[in-house]
Amino acid sequence: MKEIYQRRSIRKYTEKEISKEDIEKLLKAGMNAPSAHNKKPYQLIVVQNKETLKKLSDTCIFSKMLEGANAAIVVCSLGDDKETPYWQADCGAVTENILLEATSLGIGSCWLGGYPDLEKTGKEKEILGIPEEYKLFCTISLGYPAEERKPNDNYYPEKVHYEKF
Ligand SMILES: Cc1cc2nc3c(=O)[nH]c(=O)nc-3n(C[C@H](O)[C@H](O)[C@H](O)COP(=O)(O)O)c2cc1C
């Protein structure tokens, strides 16, 4: 449970390489997320090439940290509203699992929004050769932390309702 609180968005990274084994652990954590009707409607793209990371960092002012990242995992989906109407929830669950596994491995991460920003994701899709019919759900920036952030300790009573709204 501690990873839930320790996970923070980390946007500054050291040069240290994330190993192939750890990348696979991150992917596996994502693949063990719950999924509506167990359809698992996602594809995961691992990016470690520095030039590609730089190109991705230039797609949006809020993605700049990718330039210094060691890796990114891009979560995309066919996002068929008839066959997989819960694709966004499924991709969100995959993403959160990857963030939590990253935290447990001491790897910093940041969830970078994708869909429904079609302008930004259009540029990212082109860079990554993602087929037209796929939607890019999000990009996860990854690297060993070069910044320290306090664990979260949030609780919002005004958001809680017992029995009825
Ligand atoms: C759907 C979504 C999109 C996000 N997009 C970005 C982004 O584009 N750039 C960024 O730096 N952080 C992004 N974040 C991270 C949030 O800014 C961050 O989670 C929030 O400020 C809370 O901080 P914490 O993650 O450290 O708890 C995104 C988070 C979510 C859930």
Closest Cα to atom 2 of ligand 1: 113
Ligand 1, atom 21: closest residue by C-alpha:
9
* pTM: predicted TM-score of the whole model, two decimal places: 0.98
- pLDDT tens digit string along 102-138? 999 999 999 999 999 999 999 999 999 999 999 999 9
Residue whose CA is at the smallest distance from ligand 1 atom 6: 112
Averaged pLDDT for residues 139-153: 98
Boundaries of every domain in the chain: 2-144
Binding pocket residue ranges, ligand 1, CB within 6 Å = 8-9, 11, 62-63, 110-113, 152
- What are the tens digits of pLDDT across the range 32-43? 999 999 999 999
Using the mean position of ligand 1's atoms as its centre, give its distance from the Cα of residue 1 in Å: 20
- Tell me: pLDDT of 80 over 90: no
Residue 23 Cα to ligand 1 middle (Å): 21
- Residue 43's SS3 state is strand
* Fold that domain 2-144 belongs to in CATH: NADH Oxidase (3.40.109)
Closest C-alpha residue for ligand 1 atom 29: 111
Residue 28 pLDDT: 99
The whole-number average pLDDT for the span 7-29 is 98
pLDDT band at residue 20, thresholds of 50, 70 and 90?
very high
Confidence at 81, pLDDT banded by 50, 70, 90: confident
What mean pLDDT value characterizes the chain?
97
* Calpha distance 52→55 (Å, rounded): 5
